[in-house]
Chain A
Amino acid sequence: MNRSRPEPVQVVKQRRDGVLRAMVEGVPYTQFLGIEFERRGDELTGVLPFKESLIGNPMLPALHGGATAAFLEVTAIITLSWGLLWEDMESGALDTASLDAQSLPRLPKTIDFSVDYLRSGLPRDAYARARINRSGRRYASVHVEAWQDNRARLFAQGTGHFVMPHRQE
């Protein structure tokens, strides 16, 4: 049998975490909101750690609907982009060693985004996970769910459509 040895786990982790970091940390607005991503294999979870500047109504208090919308949209775009980059990242076609926000391939653009507010966002950390329902050559449709204390008890969900970047041949 002629099978190449699997890569050392540290090499794999460093490559994948490095690409994810370049995607997330390179965007000022994502940094401003404080959004982070946790990764298990190719599965991503967006995390929005609570801070006072995310509050909308201070009487309740509740997360601002705009902060929630932005969190869902960021999670959708990052998850979609991650799926697009995955193959090139794993095959070595993408130079992952020197990757930063400036050298990152073009990312999808939002066409429309619709948010369904199910209950008010509490003043604590929020989590989100996106599912790519369709990823075609030109368009993609992504659904994203956000929760706080209980995974099954969503506080918001959203659906967005995206135009895919032109692939350089």
Chain B
Amino acid sequence: MGPVMNDKIKRASQFIQALPHSVALGMELEDLNAGTAVIGMPYDAKLVGDPRTGVVHGGAVSALMDTTCGAAVMSHPSNPAGTATMDLRIEYLRAATPGQRITTTATCYHVTRSVAFVRATATDADTDNPVAMATGTFTAEGKP
């Protein structure tokens, strides 16, 4: 990775770590590199959707998926200046185990002049059995 790209990744990291809603949910950027992003979200009582079981709400997983997918687009080597979600579909495979951190890995696998295509997987401590999967289409703005 050249120094220009390195700088670009650094700025993208700073931008992602400053998103107010992501900060409010406790998200932590773990890795960002050439179209792949990894973001973790520690378990917290405020994220609970089912008070009887303590399972995290699907909406919080959606927010994590959306942030990670957007971050993957921002870090893509094609260098989009900005991005916004057009469409995001999430499949909830199983309930995340209460108390465990949820980690999402998103990959931006194709970018056209104006559109970015992304897939993401969310896991808890049992990394072999994903909690949720996502498919998204994002805008790729400010490209020549």
Instruction: List the interface of chain A (C-beta within 8 A of B).
Output: 26-33, 52-58, 62-67, 69-71, 73-74, 101-102, 107, 109-117, 120
Contact = CB atoms under 8 A, between A and B. Distances in A.
Interface of B: 18-25, 45-52, 56-60, 62-67, 70, 82, 84-92
Nearest to A113: B90
The residue among B46, B48, B57, B65 with the most chain A CB atoms within 10 A of its own CB is: B57
Contacts of B19: 55-58, 64
Interface of A is mostly: mixed
A117 B57 CA distance: 21
B58 A65 contact: no
Contacts of A110: 58, 92
Contacts of B85: 65, 115, 117
B90 A112 contact: yes
Given A32-B46, A115-B88, A26 B51 contact: yes
A52 B20 CA distance: 7
A70 B84 contact: no
A28 B66 contact: no
A58 B89 CA distance: 24
A111 B51 contact: no
A66 B84 contact: no
Contact of B87 (A28, A63, A70, A116): A116
Contacts of A30: 49, 57
A115 B87 contact: yes
Given A65-B66, A114-B88, A117-B86, A73 B59 contact: yes
Nearest to B27: A66
Given A112-B90, A114-B88, A117-B84, A69 B66 contact: yes
A147 B135 CA distance: 24
B71 to A, nearest CB: 12
18 contacts: A26-B51, A27-B51, A28-B47, A28-B57, A54-B20, A57-B19, A65-B63, A65-B88, A66-B65, A67-B21, A67-B63, A73-B58, A111-B92, A112-B90, A113-B62, A115-B62, A117-B84, A117-B87
